[in-house]
Amino acid sequence: MEDEHRYLFIDFEFTMPDRSSRFKGFYPEIIEAGVVAVRNDQVYEQFSSYISPIRFPILSDRCKSFLRISQQQVDQGISLYELVKKLKDVSNNYPCTIITWGNMDMRVLRNNCQHAGIPFPFKGKEIDLSMEYKRFFGDQNQTGLWKAVQEYGKEGTGKHHRALDDAMTTYNIFRLVEKDKRYLEKPEPTTIGDRVDFSKLLNKFA
C-alpha cells in the first residue's frame, strides 16, 4: 500500500420492502454504515452508525427481522447528510481507493445522494472485492463475504450483516488476497544447478 494512499473499506446495510402499497416506488436506503480506513497497512480510523432513512422512514418487518435492526435504532441514527460529510472527512481529500464486497454499496450511496440532492462524496477508484476474488480464484459464481473468509480457513469479524464487522471482514480478505498475489508474483526459486557450478565441483574431485 503506497504511502499516504488511503483505503476505505465500506459496508452499508439497506432498507428492504415488504409487499405492500406503503412501499410503492421503493428504493433501498442506507440505514447502517461501517467504515474501516487504512493507511500504510494500518487502520487509522473506524466509523459505525445507524442512519435514518428519508423516503421510507418506517422499516418493514422483513428488514427488521433480517438485519436485526430496530425502528428505534434508525430513528436515533444520523442523517444521510451527516453520513456523507463523515465519508468526506474520513478520506480527508487524500487519494483513496474505496473497497466494498459487491457493487450494491456504492450504487445505493450514489442513488441516495442523487435523491437527496447531495454531491457524491468520493472521487477515488472503486473496487468490488467480490469480483476481484472471483477472478483471482477462477470461481464461476460470486462468493458471499463470510463464505469467502471461511474458504481462507478464517472466521468473519463479529456478526454478519453488522456494517462495521462486514467492513472489517472485507479488509481482512483484502489483505489475504493481496498476500496471495504477492506470493504468486515471486520469481521461481533457483535450482541447485543454478547455484552450484558443477564443472568446478567435478574438477575439484578429479
**Residue ranges per domain, the chain?**
6-205
pLDDT at 206: 47
- Give, in degrees to the nearest 5, the angle at Cα 131 between 91 and 116: 45
Reading the chain (206 residues) residue by residue, the pLDDT tens digits are 445 789 999 999 999 998 877 788 899 999 999 999 999 889 999 999 999 999 999 999 999 999 999 999 999 999 999 999 999 999 877 779 999 999 999 999 999 999 999 999 998 899 999 988 888 776 666 667 767 767 766 665 556 668 999 999 999 989 888 887 777 665 555 555 455 454 554 555 44
CB 121 within 8 A of CB 95: no
Rg (CA), the chain: 23
- Helix or strand run (H / E) with residue 198: helix 198-205
Beta pairing partners, 46: 36
Task: Return the pLDDT at 29.
Answer: 98
Count other Cβ atoms within 10 Å, centred on residue 37.
Answer: 21
Which active-site residues does the annotation give?
Answer: 13, 161
| Residues 29, 111: Cα–Cα separation, whole Å | 9
Three-class secondary structure of residue 28 per DSSP: coil
Distance CA 34, CA 50 (A): 9
Inter-CA distances, 148 with 85, 137, 138, 166, 184, Å: 31, 11, 13, 12, 19
**Tally of CB atoms within 10 A around 17:** 16
Query: According to the model, what pLDDT value does residue 26 have?
Result: 92
CA distance 33 to 14: 9
* Whole-prediction pTM: 0.82
φ, ψ dihedrals at 40, nearest 5°: 50, 40
Distance CA 149, CA 88 (A): 29
| CATH of range 6-205; options 3.90.320.10, 3.10.129.10, 3.50.50.60, 3.30.420.10 | 3.30.420.10
